[in-house]
Amino acid sequence: MQDLREKYLKAVAGVSDEAALEEIRLAALGKKGEISLKMRELGKMTPEERQTTGKALNVLKDEIDAALRAKKAALADAALDARLAEEWLDVTLPGRPRRQGTIHPVSQVMDEVTAIFADMGFAVAEGPQIEDDWHNFDALNIAPEHPARQEHDTFFMNRAEGDNRPPHVLRTHTSPVQIRAMLDQGAPIRVIAPGRVYRMDMDQTHTPMFHQVEGMAIGRDISMANLKWVLEEFCKAFFEVDGVELRFRASHFPFTEPSAEVDIRCSWKGGSLKIGEGDDWMEILGSGMMHPKVLEAGGIDPNEWQGFAFGMGIDRLAMLKYGIPDLRAFFESDLRWLKHYGFNALDLPTVFGGLSR
């Protein structure tokens, strides 16, 4: 027993790698190892010899197993120390720079517009992008023969043969959201409705899908003067100027009466747009006092309540504020468009996954 003990303890102490250590373990404690074979001989011994020899073999087996485990742990520690010495890392070095993306300009402008109107007490209302004919047209006093209700202007949802339900469309404006808000909340009310809208149009300044924000305020004594003040305050905050001058031009919209196009004083000196100065005028939105028929469609008595409404394109606002001349810059897959105008979006195919939130 003593010879076996000294033999294997010396071998374990002198080993230098785990492969050699495993060979020693198999030679001593494997199925055909020396100690294992001696354990099998216990059956041939007398009870007295078996008791004495078995105890000694168990003690020897445990001692060698403990030596093997300790040596294996020591070899692992030594290997780790060697690796750390070879593969050291200077944790004081600055981290690798990562490119950071930015919010898409349309989303950014939508957030800005929402915040400005929120400061003036306007809540945000939302509605479906697929609208029924009544909410999108009839409730807004748009006559059946109006060009906007024709297929060359509006995306109509496909109907199976024999399906005689009223038509559904991709909403052409966010005005239906105002109808839904009036029906849900009644008067008085003050809301804006930002979101995607769809029209069959495509050129340098139009796309089939774009973004609008429309707003309305209804009360007992609301007038065009209130509308003018709200729009002036919005323009000063959005374009970050101390003063603006707006010009209201008589126009016609089915859902407002009277109606007005709104122009803002500006200058184009040096090819740069400056708001609030100069001798030029630029149209930015449409507005007016809400038509009595629209109030009635929203469940509000026009004999007791009146209000104003307005609507503007968010994409156009982004183009004006950030000097982007081509609307297609927002939607083309070449991200150099946006980078050129200060929106250094990440070069990932999903960057346009959410143009608005």
Annotated binding site for Mg(2+): 257
State the Cα angle at 311 between 218 and 105, rounded to 5°. 130
User: CA nearest 136: which of 97, 108, 83, 173?
Assistant: 173
Q: Name the binding residues.
A: 257
Burial class (CB in 10 A: 0-12, 13-18, 19+), 12: buried
| CA dihedral sign, ordered 178, 180, 185, 188 | positive
Cα–Cα distance for residue pair 264/42, rounded to 1 Å: 107
The angle that helices 18-29 and 47-86 make with each other, rounded to 10 degrees, is 170
